[in-house]
Amino acid sequence: MAIGIDGIDRSIKNIAELSFQNLDTGVVLNLPKPSSFIIDRGFQQRRVPTVDDRGNMTYSDNYIVGEDPKLQIIYAQWQPEIMAFKMGTTFETGSQDIQISKSFDVYKTGVAIPLNIGDTGITINSSKASHTVGNISVDATSLLTVDGTAKTVTFQAGLLNKRVTFQFDVTVTSGLIETANKTANHSVAATLVATDDELIFLEIPKVSVNFETSQLSPSAEQVDINFFINSVAGRCKPYDIIYSGEYISC
């Protein structure tokens, strides 16, 4: 099905599929579909100088002397493996001691109130609390009782209508923990769909995370993951794009 005159108005509708394969383990990552990606060839070039008929320095040509291609993939979700790409380090299941925070606006005293900081997978080791007196934070730990087993807190009357902020020392017994291990190299495979429903395939044999762009912004509406496209022995191009001549049939 041609679009326009001889298909000259044909374009790409969207990304239908995109996947990563870990080059160390062979595992294909089960990630959400991205909203977009950008490939920058990063050509390094030289221009050939010459002189025109008026004696002005100008250029007659240019040629490529190097290439530093890059890939940016944009997601709409924060997810552990996407975060691992963004931060440049991996996650693994394990146990770890960590501090967590929690705040309450105290409207009840003398009764046990759930802490809502997790259930059996979190052990409370100790806690500190504060409230505000004269615009200054003051320790309030002695004005409340934390039940680490039941994970509740009981406030004394002196904290009524106050805001109380906690910091708990806890052990997360089985969580996904960021490690110091750097994210592995991956290959990338993508399927694009043209406006006439032709399938366009993209293959990038080897990418590595660009660690200079490792910022965490959890409230952002999108996450951009930046990669270097690396050279692979025996290949002349950093990636392949193929207009397959095959069409979606639904």
Give the 3-state DSSP-derived string for the chain, with helices as H, strands as E and coil as C.
CCCCHHHCCCCEEEEEEEEEEECCCCCECCCCCCCEEEEECCEEEEEEEEECCCCCEEEEEEEEEEECCEEEEEECCCCHHHHHHHHCEEEEEEEEEEEEEEEEECCCCCCEEECCCCCCCEEEEEEEEEEEECCEEEECHHHEEEECCCCEEEECHHHCCCEEEEEEEEEEEEEEEEEEEECCCEEEEEEEEECCCEEEEEEEEEEEECHHHCCCCCCCCCEEEEEEECCCCCCCCCCEEEEEEEECCC
Task: Please give the pLDDT value at position 2.
Answer: 44
Q: Enumerate the domain spans of the chain.
A: 5-46+60-88+183-247, 92-177
Instruction: Judge whether 184 and 21 are in contact, CB under 8 Å.
Output: no
Task: Please give the pLDDT value at position 124.
Answer: 94
Task: Please give the pLDDT value at position 5.
Answer: 47
Average pLDDT by stretches of 10, the chain with 250 residues: 57 92 96 94 94 94 94 92 91 92 95 90 94 95 94 95 96 89 95 93 96 84 93 90 89
Task: Please give the pLDDT value at position 7.
Answer: 62
Task: Please give the pLDDT value at position 213.
Answer: 82
